[in-house]
Every structure is written in structure tokens, then in C-alpha cells.
Structure 1
Amino acid sequence: MATRKVTLSLDSGALEFAERAAKAHGISVSSWLSKAARREAVRTGYTPQKPEPAAAESDEAERSAAEKDLRAQG
């Protein structure tokens, strides 16, 4: 899934929780926050929409290119 760099403001307690949880799971704070946001959205009733065909094709092209690069590296 593509990522986008954003600037967020978090209260210090929430940031500390996120940092500790991310470290405990061996992942970056960004990854942990992405997963937490996704879980919370679903928990509170958000229903994801079907991706637009162009976006799905773009994601598939990105995945294919990354796989090709990895295979080329051995």
C-alpha cells in the first residue's frame, strides 16, 4: 500500500503509548499508527469503499515493479 508523508499533532501521552507499543511490536511508530488508525476506523463503523480501478491498477503496477526489482537484486 502506498504511503504519504503527513504532519500530525498528538498529545504527549498518546505519542508515548504509540512509541512504546511500536517498540514492543518491533515496528515503526508510523506503521503502528497506520494500523491503529485502520483498526479504530473499522471498530467505529467505517466501511471501506471499493478502490477505483485506476488506483487498483496503479497499486498492482507498483507491486509488480517492486517484485521485479527484488528479483533483479537476487
Structure 2
Amino acid sequence: MRKALQAAGVAFEVKDIPRQLRSGCGLCILLEGTEADARGWIVPEQTAALYQQNGEAWRCLATFPPAG
């Protein structure tokens, strides 16, 4: 995913999943842009959810089924 985002010139950050969203370990990719832009980077069976951040608040836009 990193290589694809870099090749496309998309600004992003890889961080630990914020505690407000889920306890435990895991990583998230922070993208700036529209919801439609972010939806273009969803990887089936690897993307768990799509959230929008507004300040310290997070809003779940979509969740996806786990690999099966």
C-alpha cells in the first residue's frame, strides 16, 4: 500500500490505530482528501474500516468484512 500511495503522489501517514477507535494493536493510514479519494484506496479483505477525523473526533463512514 505504501508504494502505491507514494507512486500516486498521495500524502499519507502510517500510525498506530487511535485508542478512541480500538484498543489493541494495529496500524492505520491517514489520508487527506475527500471520502471518495479515500474509498479509492480500500483494499478488499485488508481494509477493516473507513473513518473521517474532525479534530479529536472520529466518525465511522464504512466497515468491511474480514478476510475469510
Global fold match (TM > 0.5)? no
More helix by proportion, 1 or 2? Answer: 1
TM-score, with length taken from structure 2: 0.20
Higher-strand-fraction structure:
2
Larger Rg: 1
So what's the TM-score if we normalise by structure 1? 0.19
